[in-house]
Structure 1
C-alpha cells in the first residue's frame, strides 16, 4: 500500500497535515495520507510542465509510446488480485465488481488507447485559395488535471489517463480523498512500464487541492468526474481562464418499462443497474416508469429481491451488496429515505442502516418505494445509494416528457418488445447513453458522457482523443 504522493518520479510525504482513508465495511482507518499544500501542487504541475516541454513523452515514437501503455496494461492485469483487494478495502465494492469489472475495464482502456497512439491523424482538404497545400494535425494540450471520484476510483481514472497519455499529454491526478489508494499504487505500474518521470504526478487531499489544480495557470485542461455542484464551479473557473474542460457529473436515470416488456427480464436488468456498487453509480437506474396495470407486480417483485440481498464486506465472496463509501454518504441516503416517507411514497422494503454485525460499517439496506409521483424529491434528485422508486404511468405518450423532466441527462433505459417504440423513445429521451433491453454495459470504444446537468464532453472512444488534443491548421505555399 502506497501512502505518499508521487511527484516527478519520486514519492514524497506530507509537509502539512494528513487525512485518513477509512475502510467503509468496518469504519476503521486504513491509512493516513498527506494533504497536499499549495507548494506540492505547484511542484506537481511544474514537473508535468517540464516533462511536457522536454517532449520526452509527446515526442516519443508513437509505436514506442503505445508499447509503454500496453506494458502498463499487462502489469496491471498481472496484479489484478492485489488491486482488486485494495479497491474493495478502500471503496467497499464487492470483489466480484473490483476483480471482475473495475480492474479488467482499466486494463481494457490502456490496451484500447495504446491502439490509438499510431492512428491519430489529421486531414488534408481542398481549399479555394490557389497554390496552397492545407493539412491539419492533432497535438497534445499540455498539462492536464485529472480529478477523479470515489465510486470507481481506478477505473474512472484510467478512462481519463489512458487517452491523455496516448495523445502525448502530461498529467497531475487528484484522486477523491475517500479512495486514493489504488491511484497511488498505479503509479508503481506506470513507472515500471516506462512512463518517464514527471509525465504522471499524483497529489492527495480534499477540495482545496482540487481547487488549486483547477486554478493553476500551467494547467491546460481539467477532466473531472463528480457532483454537478462541483462541476459547475470547475466550469466557471475554467471558463474565466479559457481552459479546456470535460465534466462527467450526476445522473437520475429513468428506466421506462413498456406495457409489453418482459417483466422478469426488466426486473433483473434494473436491479443490476440500480443496486450495482450499492447504487453508487451515476448511471444507475433509480426511477422506474411502469404501466399502472403492472406497477404493483413490478414493485413487489423488485422489493422482494432487493430485500433478500445479502449485505456484507466486499471481501466476503457471498456478499451481494457492500457498504456505502462513507458515513457522510450513508447519512445523505438516509435523509432522502426520510424525505420519501414524508412525501407519501410507499416504503416497500429497506429504509434503514444495517445493524448487528454490520453496525460499524456504512451499510444501508436496499430500499424500494412504490407509488412515487413525479414531483417527489426522491424522483428528481440524485441520491447515489441503494434507493429505487417506482412511478406508475397511465399514458404512454407522456413517457418521454416525464423521463426528461429532470436536470440530469446521463443515461436512460428502455424495456419493450416493440422495437419501433423502443427506438422512438430512445430518440426522444435526453440522455448521453440509452440502453434498450439490457443492463448498463460499457466498452472503451463507446463514447460516454452526459447532457444537461450531467456534464459536457465525452470519454472513451475517439471522442476522448478529440478531448485531449488540439487541431492545428498548416498552410504551405506551393507558388
Structure 2
C-alpha cells in the first residue's frame, strides 16, 4: 500500500468518493522534471514537425473514437448531463484538428529582408518542459488548448489536472501513447497542494507555465514564477455581460441568453453572468426568460432528460447561494418558479436556475464571478449606460450585444473592454480566433495561429556568405 498522501475525487452527484490518486509531492519534483528534460531533448532531435503532426493526428482520431464511452466518466466527475459530454470531447478533437491545420504556417521560419551576401531568418524554437495546470469545468477543451499547440511546437509537457477530473489527462496520455508518443514527453501529475505546485513552478527545468482557473490561482502561479524569467500564460475568470437592445426578437434572445447563462450549470468562464436590458422591452424580456427557464429540468445527469445537473461541489453551491442571498438582502427579487423543487431535493449541489431582477452593481452577483446558474437582469435606459455598466468590472473575458442592427452592434462592441466581443452570440470560443482575457481575466492567448506563440521562443539565424 502506498504511503503517499492520497487525493480523493468526490462525485458532485452523490457526494461519494469515486477516484483516488497518489498525490505528487515535493520529493517527486526532481525525477519528473529530469525525465521531462531528457524526453524533450530526444523528442526535439527525433521528431520534426511533420512527425509531430502525424502523431497528434492519430491521437485525435483515437480520442474521437472513444468519445461516447468517455462521456460517463465526465458526467460522474463533474456532473454535467451525460447527453452533452461526448460533444465536449468531439469539439476538443475539432479544435485540435484546427490547430493541426494551421501549425505548418504558424511554426514556419520567417525570412528576413533580402540582402546580397546574407541569409537571415527567424526560427520558432520549442521552450522545453511546459507545465499545464488546468480546470475541471471543460477539461478536454481546456487541455486541448495548450496540449496540442505545445506538443506540435516540439515541447515536453507535464499535465496537472484539477483533482475533480483526474482521468482526463490520463486518457489523453493513453491515446498519445497508442499513437506512438515516446515515454515522458507527456507526464501526468496529481497535486492538490498549492505549496508543492509553487515549488514545481520555481524549479529550474520548468520552461513555461500555462494556468487555467481562478484569478486567485493564476496570481499564485504568477507569484511562484516571479523569481524566474519564464513565460506564464493565464486563462482566468470572467464576469461576462450581455446587453439586449430594444430591437431584438425577444423570444429568440431570451432563449439564447438562458442557454448562455445556465448551460453546464453556469460553470463556464465565458457564460453570461449579468444581463442588461433596454427599458423599452425590459418587462417583456424578463417574462420571456421566466417562460424559457420553466422548460428546463434540473435532475439526475445520467437520465438523459435533465438539462442541468449538480454544480461541482458543496463549497461551490454555498458560494452561489451566498451571492443570491446577498442580492436578495440588498433589494433584488427572485422570479425563479417553483418547478425545481424535485431537482433541488436530490442534494445540496443541485442548484436551481435563479432569475434575479432589481439588481445593481452594489451586489456581489453583478460584481463578482458567480459561476452558477444565475441570471441577474438589470434595466438600462440607453446604449451608453449599457456599455458603461458592461465595462464596470475588473474582469474582461467575453461580452455580447444582441440587436438586429449589426452595424450598431459592432460599434458598441468596439467600446466594450473584453478579449472577445460577440454580436448575437455568446459562450463560444472559436478555434480560428485568439482566446484571450483582458484585465484580470488573463494574459497571453490560446487558439488560432497566435495560440502557438506562448509555446515557442524566437531564434534568429544571421548567415554571411564568405567570399571564395
Structure 1 equivalent of residue 98 of structure 2: 112
- 1:398 deviates by 2.2
Structure 1 equivalent of residue 386 of structure 2: 399
Residue 192 of structure 1, aligned match among 167, 178, 189: 178
- 1:442 deviates by 3.0
* Deviation per residue, 1:82-107 (Å, 9 max, x gap): 2211111111111232112x101221
Q: Secondary structure at the match of 2:451?
A: helix
Q: Secondary structure at the match of 1:379?
A: helix
TM-score if structure 1 supplies the norm length? 0.92
Structure 2 equivalent of residue 463 of structure 1: 450
- For the residues of structure 2 that align with 1:240 and 1:417, how far apart are their CA atoms? 51
- For the residues of structure 1 that align with 2:397 and 2:113, how far apart are their CA atoms? 38
| CA gap 1:356/1:139 in 2 versus in 1, 3 angstroms | closer
Number of residue-to-residue matches in the alignment: 464
Moved more, 446-455 or 178-187: 178-187
2:241 and 2:400 in contact (8 A); partners too: yes
| CA gap 1:228/1:474 in 2 versus in 1, 3 angstroms | same
Q: Indicate whether 1:202 and 2:188 are aligned.
A: yes
| CA gap 1:350/1:219 in 2 versus in 1, 3 angstroms | farther
* Deviation per residue, 1:399-453 (Å, 9 max, x gap): 2221101000000011011122101111000111111112333332221121000
Residue 369 of structure 1, aligned match among 356, 359, 373: 356
Structure 2 equivalent of residue 453 of structure 1: 440
Structure 1 equivalent of residue 268 of structure 2: 281
| CA gap 1:67/1:25 in 2 versus in 1, 3 angstroms | same
Structure 1 equivalent of residue 198 of structure 2: 211
- 1:360 deviates by 3.5
| CA gap 1:353/1:260 in 2 versus in 1, 3 angstroms | closer
- 1:354 deviates by 5.8
Q: Indicate whether 1:44 and 2:32 are aligned.
A: yes
Q: Indicate whether 1:143 and 2:129 are aligned.
A: yes
Residue 162 of structure 1, aligned match among 148, 153, 161: 148
- For the residues of structure 1 that align with 2:135 and 2:427, how far apart are their CA atoms? 19
Moved more, 186-195 or 119-128: 119-128
RMSD of aligned alpha carbons = 2.0
- 1:358 deviates by 4.4
Q: Secondary structure at the match of 1:349?
A: coil
Residue 325 of structure 2, aligned match among 331, 338, 362: 338
Q: Indicate whether 1:26 and 2:14 are aligned.
A: yes
- For the residues of structure 1 that align with 2:328 and 2:61, how far apart are their CA atoms? 49
- 1:59 deviates by 3.8
2:135 and 2:162 in contact (8 A); partners too: yes
* Deviation per residue, 1:218-237 (Å, 9 max, x gap): 11111001011111222233
| CA gap 1:364/1:356 in 2 versus in 1, 3 angstroms | closer
- For the residues of structure 2 that align with 1:293 and 1:444, how far apart are their CA atoms? 36
2:406 and 2:423 in contact (8 A); partners too: no
TM-score if structure 2 supplies the norm length? 0.94
- For the residues of structure 2 that align with 1:297 and 1:67, how far apart are their CA atoms? 54
Residue 221 of structure 1, aligned match among 208, 219, 236: 208
Structure 1 equivalent of residue 4 of structure 2: 16
Provide structure 1 residue ranges, at least 5 long, that are not aligned to the other structure: 1-12
Q: Secondary structure at the match of 1:331?
A: helix
| CA gap 1:443/1:356 in 2 versus in 1, 3 angstroms | closer
- 1:57 deviates by 4.6
| CA gap 1:57/1:193 in 2 versus in 1, 3 angstroms | farther
2:401 and 2:422 in contact (8 A); partners too: yes
| CA gap 1:267/1:42 in 2 versus in 1, 3 angstroms | farther
Moved more, 297-306 or 112-121: 112-121
Structure 2 equivalent of residue 7 of structure 1: none
Residue 58 of structure 2, aligned match among 66, 71, 84: 71
- For the residues of structure 2 that align with 1:343 and 1:419, how far apart are their CA atoms? 36
| CA gap 1:361/1:83 in 2 versus in 1, 3 angstroms | farther
Q: Secondary structure at the match of 1:239?
A: coil
| CA gap 1:228/1:282 in 2 versus in 1, 3 angstroms | same
- 1:468 deviates by 0.6
- 1:352 deviates by 12
- 1:193 deviates by 0.9
Q: How does 1:416-435 map to 2 (within 5 A)?
A: 416-435=403-422
